[in-house]
Amino acid sequence: MSFLRAFWLRFRNNRAAVGGAVVLGLVVLLALTGPLLYPVDPFDMVGQPFTPPFARFLLGTDVAGRDILAGIIHGARVSLLIGILASLVATVVGVAFGALAGYYGGRIDDVLMRSTEFFLTIPSFVLAVVLVAIFSPTVVNITIAIAIVSWPSVARLARGEFIAHRDREYVQGCRAIGMPDWEIIILQIMPNALPPVIVVASLMVATAILTESGLSFLGLGDPNLVSWGYMIGVARTVLRVAPWMAAIPGLMILVTVLAINLVGEGLNDALNPRLKQR
CA distance linking residue 48 with residue 64, whole number of Å = 8
Low-confidence stretches of the chain (pLDDT beneath 50) = 275-278
The pLDDT score that the predictor gives to residue 278 is 43
The pLDDT score that the predictor gives to residue 3 is 63
The pLDDT score that the predictor gives to residue 151 is 92
The pLDDT score that the predictor gives to residue 223 is 84
How far, in Å, are 6, 8, 268 from residue 1 at the CA level? 9, 11, 19
Please state the CATH superfamily assignment of the domain spanning residues 2-277 in this structure.
Answer: MetI-like (1.10.3720.10)
The pLDDT score that the predictor gives to residue 52 is 85
Q: Can you give the residue ranges of every domain in the chain?
A: 2-277
Nearest CA among 86, 157, 98, 92 for reference residue 124 = 86
The pLDDT score that the predictor gives to residue 58 is 86
pTM of structure = 0.87
**What's the per-residue H, E or C state across 164-222?**
HHCCCHHHHHHHHCCCCHHHHHHHHHHHHHHHHHHHHHHHHHHHHHHHHHHHHHCCCCC
